[in-house]
Amino acid sequence: MPKLQVDNKQLDIMKSSWSTLKRSGKLNAFSIDFHRIFVEANPGRFELFKQDKSVQRARLLSMVTELVCESSLYYGHGTDSGTAIASSLAKKHKALSVNPDDFNTFLHCLLFALEKNLNDIWNDELRQAWEHSYNDFAKKIIKAMEETSNTDSQQ
Ligand code: HEM
């Protein structure tokens, strides 16, 4: 069994705040804020940014959705999906030249956009829930990226 860093309460807080954001009608504003700061933090680095802006924003939203769903399936319900998903995401992100440091930048952009659009309910507990859930999942992807590198260098 993998060591669980994030507890069920934190997963529930993350999931319910994501639902609150969707219900509040601020999802579009969130995606605009997240996208703007993500582009500023990664100037010209990814092919993604050559696409239409609405596609770029939708991709970022689908990354957050993936994070919320997979964390909850894997850590909350103990399914086996996490490892397989993490290694598939690791391969895709390596091919996109995403490196481990990028995961920190991504987290800070995500927290910024969440705080701005959930400002009525935002507090330390909410921040920690997102931070822990994200870090647990990101760690799995980064570990799988490293394992892919090791396998590559042995070939
Ligand atoms: C927990 C963190 C993350 C999750 C769950 C996640 C998830 C995803 C998913 C599901 C996709 C779509 C893959 C596909 O096409 O099948 C994707 C694509 C992508 N991700 Fe992430 N991602 C994460 C972190 C990052 C980070 C840190 C970066 C870079 C700073 C990044 C950059 C990208 C880019 C550039 C694409 C390609 C989008 C496109 O052009 O279609 N991701 N990610």
Distance 93 CA to ligand 1 centre (A): 6
Q: Residue 43: pLDDT above 90?
A: no
Cβ atoms of 45 and 97 within 8 Å: the answer is yes
* Mean pLDDT to the nearest integer, 143-150: 83
Of 130 and 1, the one with more pLDDT: 130
Task: Residue 29: give the domain boundaries.
Answer: 12-149
CB of 89 within 6 A of ligand 1: the answer is yes
In-domain check, residue 22 = yes
CA of 1 to the centre of ligand 1 (A): 26
Residue bearing the CA closest to ligand 1, atom 38: 48
Please indicate, yes or no, if residue 2 is contained in any of the structural domains.
no
Domain-located, residue 44: yes
Q: Which of 57, 63, 111, 114 to mutate to test the pocket of ligand 1 (most atoms within 8 A of CB)?
A: 63
Separation between Cα atoms, residue 138 and residue 107, nearest integer Å: 9
CB burial readout 91-129, b (16+ within 10 A) else e = eebbeeebeeebbeebeebbbbbbeebbeeeeeeebeeb
Size of the chain, expressed as the number of residues it contains: 155
Give the Å distance between the CA of 63 and the centre of ligand 1: 6
pLDDT value of residue 46: 78
SS3 assignment for 74-139: HHHCCCCHHHHHHHHHHHHHHHCCCCHHHHHHHHHHHHHHHHHHCCCCCCHHHHHHHHHHHHHHHH
Residue 3 has pLDDT above 60, yes or no: no
Confirm whether 5 is domain-assigned.
no
Q: How close is the Cα of 105 to the center of ligand 1, in Å?
A: 13
| More confident: 52 or 126 | 126
- From the CA of 138, give the closest atom in ligand 1: 1
User: Is the pLDDT at 108 greater than 70, yes or no?
Assistant: yes
Does residue 4 fall inside a structural domain?
no
Q: Give the CATH number, domain containing residue 135.
A: 1.10.490.10
Q: Is the CB of 59 under 6 A from ligand 1?
A: yes
Q: What is the pLDDT of residues 17-32, one digit of tens each?
A: 999 999 999 999 999 9
Whether residue 61 is predicted with pLDDT greater than 90 in this model: the reply is yes
pLDDT at residue 113 tops 50: yes
Q: Using pLDDT thresholds of 50, 70 and 90, give the confidence band for residue 116.
A: very high
In a domain, 154, yes or no: no
Is position 1 within any domain?
no
Q: Say how many domains are in the chain.
A: 1
pTM: 0.90
